[in-house]
Structure 1
Amino acid sequence: MDILSLIGVIVALGAIIGGNILEGGHTRSLVQLTAFVIVMGGTLGAILLQIQMPVFTRAMRMTIWVFLPPKVGSAEAIERIVDWSNTARKEGLLGLESIAESESDTFSSKGLQLLVDGSEPEVIRKIMEVEIDVKEHHDTQAAKVYEGMGGYSPTIGIIGAVMGLIHVMNNLADPSALGPGIAVAFVATIYGVGMANLFFLPMAAKLKAIIHQQTQYREMILEGVISIAEGENPRNIETKLQGYLH
């Protein structure tokens, strides 16, 4: 659990609702279904028009990362790489075959299998770098879904505000209709700007940080595999890879 994400949501909502109460307002005044439908529906429609379905579904699956990010055990990975190196020195590269088959991380397993197959270091680097780049690109595109929603929602909020004012102008002769129209106008703006700056944009930034961390992890695995292929001393490999921990 990423406790900072949870605290951030609580503090953000608490500041808005608490500030409204301190000003003498009522919480129910911020709850406008019409404004919510306009802003969320318009934002969702705009982002669906912009992206392809695989990207959108990937973004929805990655949402949980904001609160439950994938565990990246770099220190544990370095220990595993050193063990692989020791095994390769004692038993040869073929001794890594059973380890490759039992390795749960598919990226690490692929690197080990390339070692077992006797691939040259440069060949291993090219093959694994392609996977790193493609994976990073796909995940970054998914994170940009929230970045796009953060760009659209304030504008959709303004559209909701204008619609509310139009409703007000059309009902100037009916004082009972003025209040709801004005409420929708201002609350729609709050929803649009608030959701962009309190949720969508921060979520995009958080996901990009996690993706960057995962990319560094895979680069560390790659360097370890290349070092084993080049026959480096296990102690030197450990020292080199520890630089990824800082």
Structure 2
Amino acid sequence: MALVSTSTTTANGTAAVLADLGPIAQLRAGGLGRRLPQLYAGLVLYGLSIAMMVRSDLGVAPWDVLHTGVTHHLPFTIGQVLVGVSFLVLVFWIPLREKPGIGTVSNALVIGFSADLFLSVLSTPDSLVARAALVVGGVVLCGLATAVYIGAQLGRGPRDGLMTGLSRRTGLSLRLVRTGLEITVVVIGLLLGGALGFGTVLYALGIGPLTQAMLPYVIAPVSVRDVVTSAE
């Protein structure tokens, strides 16, 4: 069901609020001329944020602790591992009955390829100050990128869908499920030699507030004709 506030509905029949639309409704909700470019801009920026945090050498996001750990044992790049893990996560969507959208598949592919592209042109600075600026900038950019691609309203990413699906099936809160998932992937990543550090803590503390603060400014309006208002 979609959470829609009628107070935000405009005269032309659109609503600039987040709506939980199915895969077909996402495409029928209008505004694709804005929403598709916004989706891919957000995903590319997300890939850049990953590269910035990796090159800072001061720690990466929880899932990237896992991704960097895997690269120590398999002949794959971080981006390739990210793509592989994304599609593995999508397998777990099946019993959870989550429905992927164009944004879900794009998320799995574009972020990984973008991360590898930016990693090929970025290097780790010698200065600690420059590295700190890189990791802080990476976290802030990740918050913006997350808001931008979520605001496009074209489907959740693989990891987000796993979180919401588990929450719905278990009755546990989203916060608890997310915490459990991220602790799990960090532990596995550490056992594999992943890159845990200051950036990991900064990401864990900052990504939620940053995304929440930026999201209202980048939500793309969708047609209310394809949105079912929830009574929640």
TM beyond 0.5: no
- TM (norm. structure 1) is 0.25
Larger Rg: 1
Which structure dedicates a bigger proportion of its chain to helix?
1
